[in-house]
Each structure stands twice: as structure tokens, then as C-alpha cells.
Amino acid sequence: MWTGRFSQATADLVLKYSESVSYDWRLYRYDIAGSIAHARAQMKAGLLTTDEFAAIETGLKEILADIEAGKFHWDTKLEDVHMNIESELTRRIGPAGAKLHTARSRNDQVATDSRLYCRSLIDDALSALTELQRVLVQKAEQYAAVRIPGYTHLQRAQPVTVAHHLLAYVEMLQRDVERLSDCRRRVNVCPLGSGAIAGSTINLDRSAIADELGFDGVTQNSMDAIADRDYMAESLFCLALIGAHLSRLSEDLVLWSSAEFGFCTLSDAHTTGSSLMPQKKNPDVCELTRGKTGRLYGNLTAMLVALKGLPLTYNRDLQEDKEPLFDSFDTVLHALAVNAEMIAAMRINEARCAAAVADPLLLATDLADYLVRRGVPFRRAHELVGKAVALAEKEGVPLSQLSVEQFHSISPDFGDDPCAVFNLDRAFTLRTNPGSPNAQRTAERIAFWRDKLGA
């Protein structure tokens, strides 16, 4: 590749250290598409005859077919995917292949390939996110009427519904969809034509190349285009945050599927057993999702650290961008798919949910609101209900079983019928504001999502 200037062959250890084809071979499809677009522009500029272009295009398509058929030999001596494909092309078609690299560098080539890869995998991630959203909406609808305690500090707080809880994740995933879609706009810009750093004296039609490759436009500064990996860092951040969301969902399901909660049962197909304890049924998928989120954060960090302190423009450090990027997309796509399948197969245990949500303490805030409606300032109402909770605890009775006399021993403000508050239908009916776990509101939101997601 650079034999002209060197009098020694590259040392074996250096070859092993610097090769990237063992992982960047995955860019072959984008590399070939980029090369065909580049060659077409060369032909239009009079640098290739139509026959030469045809030979390049056919040769590259045959190489593509061979790669997909597993018949292509990748050679680490040729360093990377770009050199492997180009040298094989030249071996197959002769001199025309050697013209392909005119007005191009591996620097703008790798940036182009990586952007095409990111764009394609972002589209896969968007579909996978939407699929998981659909599954969650479907579960929410199936169990729309099932009430459960909502938790803060993992302590029982106020009543919600399974639907409201699951739909919270649909909202989160929608932000992921929007974030990735926005990131995609910055990914989808074509750097080809930036050359090694300063463009080329041979000017090809950059817009035509960009159009052919489905880019929305071309980069505007050759140095920035070569040095830029922001689109990767952004993609990795979006993927890390998807990981955070899936990890929180996983933790909820680990809790819900425990004997202590018992709110849900995961299918046998999506759980694993123990080699020692015959009774065990473990939520390993949830735990792995939680664990793999650490890798997603690690990949983002690796990318950010690799970029820090790099002078413009290309530095070989940038070759370290691909493994974290590939790993994060692989990890997130797998996680989204397996979680969608697992949640689709999950059952909600309505009796266990009903027993848990029957705890009258979940309506202590509603009792304070009841006092507020009777003219008591909220801070005072909070204190009075707090006293009632303490009294119930002391007497060893549920809050809803205190007598009117006992309530009145705390304050006459409790009126004639404080215990009317301890009615879940009432509690949900009163919460009419948008965003509340009210049956009507939930039905509206489910209808909204069904329409939006095409479910």
C-alpha cells in the first residue's frame, strides 16, 4: 500500500497490533456501496471509461456476493476492510481497480462507511424500539384494569395500575426514538471527497455521490469531516440511555417476579433454572439486560476518552471507535428483541396485585386531600393523617378500620365519613388530570399509542 517509501516490511507484531479487518469486515456492504458511488463520479468526471466503471461495479458486486456467501478470504496483512476489498478487486479486474482510490483516502472512506453503518443500525434500533413499545402497549391494554401499588423509595406510595406503570416505559422509549431520529440527521451527512484531510485537486461531484448513498447532504469542512466522531459518541449515548431504560424495566420485573411481590410470572422460555436448587426459576434475561447496560456505558466512555485530546484530524486512535460502536448496537438490538419477546409472554397475577393494592395506607394522601376539600390547609391535613396512621399502627388495625370516634380524637375536621376515602374506584376516578392513572386517561393514552405505533 505504501511500499514506495519504505525499505522494511511491517513487523508481524505491528501488523497484529494495527489490523482492524478482524472486526471492521462488518462494514463491507457500506464500503462497497461507497466505492461504487465514488467510481460512478469518477466516470462522470472522465477519469474512468464506461467499461472501466462497469468492470469496477461488477467486480465489487461479485465480491459482495462472495462475502455474503462466506467465500471471501479476509487477510489481516491488508489491515482493514477497505484494503481487503480494493486489493481483491484489482486482483480480479486488473488496472481499473487500481484507479478506484483516485481522489479518496481511507480517512474519508472509513468515515463514510461508519456513517452508513450507523444510519442502518439506527434504523434497526428504531424498529426494535417501536416493537417493544407495541408489546408494552398491548400488555398495558390486556391488564388495563389491574391495580398495583406505586412505589417511591421502593416503599408503597399510592395506587397506580399495571397499565400506567408499563406505559411509563413506552414514554421513555419514545424519547429514545426521538433522540435516535435526531441523532440520525447528524449521522446522515456524506464526508466522501474530504480526502485525507484537505479534499483533492481532482474534484468529483460530492452531491451526486451523497445522493446515490442516500445521504441528506455533504460535510462542509474537510478537516472536521475526517476528525469527526461526534455522530458515534451521540449514537453511543442514545444506546446507553436505552440501556438505562431497559435496565430499570428489568429491575421492576426482577422485583415483580419475586415471591415477595408476585405481581408477574415470566414464561419458562424466558427464565432459567438453577443447576443446584430444583425449585428455582430465575429472571436471567432481566439481570443480563441490567448487567449489559454497564457495557453500554463503558463503550460510550471509551469513545469519549479516545476523542479527548486528539489533534485534528485523523489519528490512528480513531480506529478504536468501531468495536465499542458495533458492540453497543449488537447489545441493544439483542436486548430490545429479547425483552419484547419476554414481556409479550409475561403474565400478570391479578390476585397478588389486588392483595397488595388493598393496603389502605396507599390512600393516606387521598385522606389528606379529603381534609383539604373540607378547608384544612394541606400541611395541617398531612399532620392529622400522619397522627391517624400512627394511631392505627398503635392499635394494630388498618387505617381504614379506625372508628369515626378515633378519627375525631385526633381532629373533628375528619367529619362524618373519613373512611369513604378508602375506595380505590373513588381514588382513580378523582385523578382526572392528564398523566394520571385514571381509567379514562389510560384508555386515551393507549388509543394514542395504538394509533402512533400502528399496533
**7 given a catalytic annotation:** no
Give me the catalytic one of 22, 181, 274, 403: 274
Please identify which residue in 42, 84, 90, 107 interacts with ligand ARG, judged by CB under 6 A.
107
110 vs 121, which CB is nearer to ligand ARG? 110
Q: At closest approach, how far in Å is the CB of 99 from ligand ARG?
A: 20
Q: At closest approach, how far in Å is the CB of 17 from ligand ARG?
A: 12
Binding to ligand ARG in span 195-254, by CB under 6 A? none
Binding to ligand ARG in span 59-88, by CB under 6 A? 80
169 vs 314, which CB is nearer to ligand ARG? 314
Stretch that binds ligand ARG, among 102-110, 173-181, 238-246, 384-392 (CB under 6 A): 102-110
Q: Is 194 in the site for ligand ARG (CB under 6 A)?
A: no
Q: At closest approach, how far in Å is the CB of 134 from ligand ARG?
A: 37
Q: At closest approach, how far in Å is the CB of 106 from ligand ARG?
A: 4
110 vs 253, which CB is nearer to ligand ARG? 110
Letters for 284-323 (x = contact with ligand ARG by CB under 6 A, - = none) are ------------------------------x-x-xx----
Give me the catalytic one of 7, 73, 153, 275: 153
**274 given a catalytic annotation:** yes
Q: At closest approach, how far in Å is the CB of 109 from ligand ARG?
A: 7
Q: At closest approach, how far in Å is the CB of 451 from ligand ARG?
A: 43
Three state DSSP letters for the chain: CCHHHCCCCCCHHHHHHHCCHHHHHHHHHHHHHHHHHHHHHHHHCCCCCHHHHHHHHHHHHHHHHHHHCCCCCCCHHHCCHHHHHHHHHHHHHCHHHHHCCCCCCHHHHHHHHHHHHHHHHHHHHHHHHHHHHHHHHHHHHHCCCCEEEEEECCEEEEEEEHHHHHHHHHHHHHHHHHHHHHHHHHHCCECCCCCCCCCCCCCCCHHHHHHHCCCCCECCCHHHHHHCCHHHHHHHHHHHHHHHHHHHHHHHHHHHCCCCCCCEECCHHHCECCCCCCCCCECHHHHHHHHHHHHHHHHHHHHHHHHCCCCCCCCHHHHHHHHHHHHHHHHHHHHHHHHHHHHHCCEECHHHHHHHHCCHHHHHHHHHHHHHHCCCCHHHHHHHHHHHHHHHHHHCCCHHHCCHHHHHHHCHHHCCCHHHHCCHHHHHHHCCCCCCCCHHHHHHHHHHHHHHHCC
Which stretches of the chain bind ligand ARG, using CB under 6 A?
20, 24, 80, 106-107, 110, 314, 316, 318-319
Residues designated catalytic: 153, 274
